Amino acid sequence: MAKVLVVLYPDPLDGYPPTYARDSIPVITGYPGGQTVPSPAAIDFTPGQLLGSVSGELGLRKFLDDGGNELVVTSDKDGPDSVFERELPTADVVISQPFWPAYLDAARIEKAKNLRLVITAGIGSDHVDLDAAMRHDITVAEVTYSNSISVAEHAVMLILDLVRNFVPAHEWVTSRRGWNIADAVSRSYDLEGMDVGVIAAGRIGVAVMRRLKPFDVHLFYTDKRRLPEATETELGLTFVPSVAELVTRVDVLSIHAPLTHETFHLFDSALLGTMRRGSYIVNTARAEILERDAVVEALETGQLAGYAGDVWYPQPPEADHPWRTMPNNAMTPHISGTSLSAQARYSAGVREILEDYFDHKPIRPEYLIVDSGALAGTGEASYSTDGTGSPGSSGQ
């Protein structure tokens, strides 16, 4: 019997379950590149249900109860008196989502004497101190690809939101009850013909560029590794060898790199100052890739025309976090990777990982971040820059 401690975001204010807008979601059978979608032996939820909040329990209740395991689900995750902190010392498995991360720093990992497996229901395990996980021989796994397309769609939406000035225009007709066309269009442009750059051409970055191609933009990208020539030709991509050069060559920048020691606070005032005046940045990767106050300042001076994203630090951010109120922002809570469609996939992926773990079968390499005291699988590819892992979303 295992104790499985699951940290999920709170239920909707109007109660659980919500009234669903649609009756079903499309069935996705595979991902670009050939990776297969999660394939657990069974699922105990209906795809399209809200699974990522506390009452949704990632659809795991029946499976874990039937196996004689203990399931503890909470949204109370921060501070020494939180339910998470109290339950952690006796937990064998911890599961949380990047949208409402259970921060597992070295001190918490030290207290978690029974902990063997940490699962990210989604993608991005930088809320876990991977170095500490390696030292304590804890396996870290995530559901690679489960929400990559969800995020890519969101990033494209945010690019259009900023360039077209959607949010203020919407506010003119809703909360302000106006019809102020001149006010609404005074910051509105066409995306067509613009220079658009992508940092990190991984699963999400490539999906973003693929979706942007029909907008007739000029696409630039940088990555540690160049894409195959066939992909560059197909999508009309220009490779730029460094972030420093890329940012000077584009009007719109979309960030899709993982948070590592190398990308932590990569964007400071100096780098932002080298961009074209009136550039837009969309960041659906991780907040700490940029210095918080440098972004605010660049928006206030007009160096940036807009900033949009769904990633913050910490999560949830404090009520007076400046990104809530900085000018020309199109921020949302961390939602891009937790659409109801994505939840169905990553909940199935978590179930698959747990089935393998309980059956002492190997977890798919593409889901592994840390295993047997070292970076493994996808973790080896994504976090290998300095051989240590991520800064654990807590600064350096």
Structure tokens at 46: 């209906």
Cβ distance to ligand NDP smaller for residue 279 or 284: 284
Bridging pattern class, strands 93-96 and 117-120: parallel
Q: Indicate if 69 belongs to the active site.
A: no
User: 241 by DSSP, 3-state: which?
Assistant: coil
User: Nearest distance from residue 359's CB to ligand NDP, in Å?
Assistant: 27
Q: Is the peptide bond before 17 cis (omega within 30 degrees of 0)?
A: yes
Q: Indicate if 315 belongs to the active site.
A: yes
What CA–CA distances, in Å, run from 37 to 64, 125, 369? 22, 19, 18
Of the listed 203, 256, 286, 351, which one is catalytic? Answer: 286
Q: How far apart are CA 280 and CA 282, in angstroms?
A: 7
Q: How far apart are CA 302 and CA 276, in angstroms?
A: 10
User: Nearest distance from residue 362's CB to ligand NDP, in Å?
Assistant: 21
Q: Is the peptide bond before 314 cis (omega within 30 degrees of 0)?
A: yes
User: Nearest distance from residue 70's CB to ligand NDP, in Å?
Assistant: 29
Q: Which residue has the tokens 């020691």?
A: 261
CB atoms within 10 A of CB 216: 12
User: Nearest distance from residue 396's CB to ligand NDP, in Å?
Assistant: 15
Binding residues for ligand NDP, rule: CB under 6 A, are 122-124, 147-148, 151, 199-205, 222-225, 256-260, 262-263, 284-286, 310-311, 334, 336-337, 381-382, 385
Of the listed 315, 328, 329, 343, which one is catalytic? Answer: 315
Q: Indicate if 218 belongs to the active site.
A: no
Query: In a 10 Å sphere around its CB, with 0-12 CB exposed, 13-18 middle and 19+ buried, how is residue 72 labelled?
Result: middle
Cβ distance to ligand NDP smaller for residue 204 or 299: 204
What CA–CA distances, in Å, run from 189 to 165, 252, 305? 8, 12, 11
Cβ distance to ligand NDP smaller for residue 260 or 279: 260
* Residue 290: closest CA among 308, 309, 264, 311: 264
Cβ distance to ligand NDP smaller for residue 8 or 88: 8
Cβ distance to ligand NDP smaller for residue 112 or 204: 204
Contact 274, 296 (CB under 8 A): no
User: Nearest distance from residue 238's CB to ligand NDP, in Å?
Assistant: 15
Q: Indicate if 154 belongs to the active site.
A: no
* Residue 340: closest CA among 64, 120, 54, 22: 22
Q: What residues contact 188, with CB distance under 8 A and at least 6 apart?
A: 163, 164, 165, 169
Cβ distance to ligand NDP smaller for residue 119 or 123: 123
Q: How far apart are CA 283 and CA 155, in angstroms?
A: 8
User: Nearest distance from residue 23's CB to ligand NDP, in Å?
Assistant: 25
Cβ distance to ligand NDP smaller for residue 63 or 309: 309
Of the listed 97, 147, 303, 328, which one is catalytic? Answer: 147
- Closest residue to ligand NDP, judged by C-beta, is 202
Q: Which residues of 245-283 are buried (b: 16+ CB within 10 A; e: fewer)?
A: ebbebbbbbbbbbbbbeebbbbbeeebbeebbeebbbbb
Cβ distance to ligand NDP smaller for residue 280 or 383: 383
User: Nearest distance from residue 81's CB to ligand NDP, in Å?
Assistant: 29
Beta bridge partners of 84: none
* Residue 9: closest CA among 97, 89, 132, 94: 97
User: Nearest distance from residue 124's CB to ligand NDP, in Å?
Assistant: 3
Residues classed as catalytic: 147, 286, 315, 334
